[in-house]
Amino acid sequence: MSYIPLIFLEVIVPLLILLGIGALLQKKFEFRLRPIANLVTYCFLPAAVFLNLYEAEIDIGLLGQLTLYLVLFIVIVTIFGELLSRSLGLGGGEEAALKNSISLMNSGNYGLPVSQLVFSANPVGVSVQILVLVVQNLLTFTYGLYNLRSSSKSLIEMMRELLRLPVIHAMIGAFALKFLHADVPRFIMIPIEQLAGGFAAIALLLLGMQLAQIEIRSFHRVIAWSALGRLVVGPGIALVLILLLGIEGVIAQSLFIASAFPTSRNTATLALEYDVEPELHAQVVLYSTLLSSITVTLVIYLSMQIF
């Protein structure tokens, strides 16, 4: 059990320190967060995604296994969210908040930095997390928007938004270059490496700034159920699927850890944009992120013991 405090100290504490610095900076200087978020989305994140996928060695057979796992995990988690919201008698914005909070994970600002710390010596683990990140982006702008009842956007418009995401272009570019066995010139690779190296710190500082703006009001029951679904049930479903599919080693560890990440900050951003219980969505993100410091530590420990 002495390994658990070590994981918390070496993986979670650095993350919490950067979140805290971001929150303090936001309280003091009141930054405009939209430009910083755009900088992360359109610059640092695509560089990190491209570099990790380009340098990783992922077997085609394992890629098929990953795809099967991700499809099953998403289907089961979304069904669980649907059934839970019905059993609680939720409707409208509360229903959207619960379902999105359980199915949409913070695989970018939170998940990727954690994976880079845990799998610093094994890039395959980070590459698996990047694939999860891409799938989560697809899910956010399809299922996530559907839950918010966004009648202002058609399916074609949502697909256009997806195709405009730089992370999608970075993924396609990395896979294309690997397939063609093409080398990236050094004068291009150097700035990509430098941008990728800065992603984790900037992403966590930004997340801390965003959390600092959330006001804690009355504790809604949706917050408790969403935390239970995202941080406990989610990893439980993942563990069962990983064992049933026979996934082993670093890939199993990475998938199990990825399933434990807190609710995506995009749920609060989209809720604010479409005015669907924005305060509730924001509080769900805050509590989920804070509680994940405990649950993610335990899941990392279990992943190292089981796999």
Tens digit of pLDDT for each residue in 97-145? 999 999 999 998 899 899 989 998 788 888 899 889 888 988 887 888 8
Quick one: pLDDT at residue 201?
92
Which CATH number is associated with domain 3-297? 1.20.1530.20
User: Which residues make Cβ contacts (< 8 Å) with residue 249, sequence separation at least 6?
Assistant: 307
- End-to-end C-alpha distance for the chain, whole angstroms: 17
Quick one: pLDDT at residue 95?
92
CA–CA distances in Å: residue 122 to residues 57, 107, 126, 255, 277: 10, 18, 7, 14, 41
Q: What is the pTM of this model?
A: 0.87
CB count within 10 Å of CB 157 equals: 12
Shortest CA distance to 76 belongs to which of 105, 103, 107, 97?
Answer: 103
Share the mean pLDDT of the chain: 88
Confidence of residue 80 (pLDDT cuts 50, 70, 90): very high
**Contact present, 73 and 241 (Cβ < 8 Å):** yes
Residue 217 has pLDDT above 80, yes or no: no
Confidence of residue 292 (pLDDT cuts 50, 70, 90): very high
Quick one: pLDDT at residue 259?
96
Burial class of residue 164 (count of CB atoms within 10 Å of its CB; 0-12, 13-18, 19+): exposed
Confidence of residue 225 (pLDDT cuts 50, 70, 90): very high
Confidence of residue 69 (pLDDT cuts 50, 70, 90): very high
Confidence of residue 153 (pLDDT cuts 50, 70, 90): low
Between CA 307 and CA 13, with CA 252 as vertex, the angle to 5 degrees is 80
Confidence of residue 161 (pLDDT cuts 50, 70, 90): confident
Measured distance CA(307)–CA(269) in Å, rounded = 36
Confidence of residue 279 (pLDDT cuts 50, 70, 90): confident
**Contact present, 207 and 289 (Cβ < 8 Å):** yes
